[in-house]
């Protein structure tokens, strides 16, 4: 029952369908229109679920910073210890002589994961960053 496919048809303006078919072809030979529509629906559902309070999410926060920036690494380290319950792992990459990249994996209630990410992103010296959130499908 869970994996039974239900059919429905979609009316779409021609220009939108042409653009959609370009997206389908960019996704490669293994994907057809139906599979890409299913992917997009799943993306939308995950995005909506991740914005609801009380849901447990996993987040990956990628940041770029200059390791010469004064006491920045110490501050980032302190934040990660303060939230050790919610920070699953982190990876540090030395990009070049000055620049560091860090990927921090977070887990917890939607709002808390966003708050920790904002704390890190708002730390002086963090040049750029982005949080990507996905759901575990469980309540926090």
- Evaluate the CA torsion angle 92, 94, 99, 101 in order and state its sign: negative
C-beta separation of 68 from 98 below 8 A: yes
94 binds Ni ion (CB under 5 A): yes
> Based on the number of CB atoms within 10 Å of its own CB, is 120 exposed (0-12), middle (13-18) or buried (19 or more)?
buried
Q: Residues binding Ni ion: what is the number (CB under 5 A)?
A: 3
Q: Which is nearer to Ni ion, 126 or 133 (CB)?
A: 126
Write the binding mask 55 to 84 for Ni ion: x where contact by CB under 5 A, - elsewhere: ------------x-----------------
| Closest residue to Ni ion, based on beta-carbon distance | 100
Q: Which is nearer to Ni ion, 60 or 73 (CB)?
A: 73
d(CA 105, CA 56): 13
Q: Which is nearer to Ni ion, 70 or 136 (CB)?
A: 70
Write the binding mask 115 to 134 for Ni ion: x where contact by CB under 5 A, - elsewhere: --------------------
Tell me which residue of 17, 14, 44, 45 sits closest to 33, measured CA to CA. Answer: 17
Task: List interacting residues with Ni ion (CB under 5 A).
Answer: 67, 94, 100
């Amino acid at each position: 029952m869970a994996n039974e496919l239900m059919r429905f048809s979609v009316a779409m303006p021609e220009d939108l369908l042409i653009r959609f078919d370009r997206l389908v072809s960019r996704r490669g030979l293994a994907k057809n229109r139906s599979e890409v529509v299913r992917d997009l629906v799943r993306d939308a559902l995950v995005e909506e679920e991740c914005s609801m309070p009380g849901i447990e999410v996993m987040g990956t926060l990628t940041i770029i910073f200059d390791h010469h920036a004064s006491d920045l690494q110490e501050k980032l380290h302190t934040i990660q210890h303060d939230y050790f319950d919610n920070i699953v792992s982190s990876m540090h990459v030395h990009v070049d002589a000055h620049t560091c990249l860090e990927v921090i994996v977070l887990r917890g209630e939607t709002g808390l994961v966003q708050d920790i990410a904002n704390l890190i992103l708002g730390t002086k010296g963090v040049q750029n960053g982005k949080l990507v959130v996905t759901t575990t499908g469980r309540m926090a």
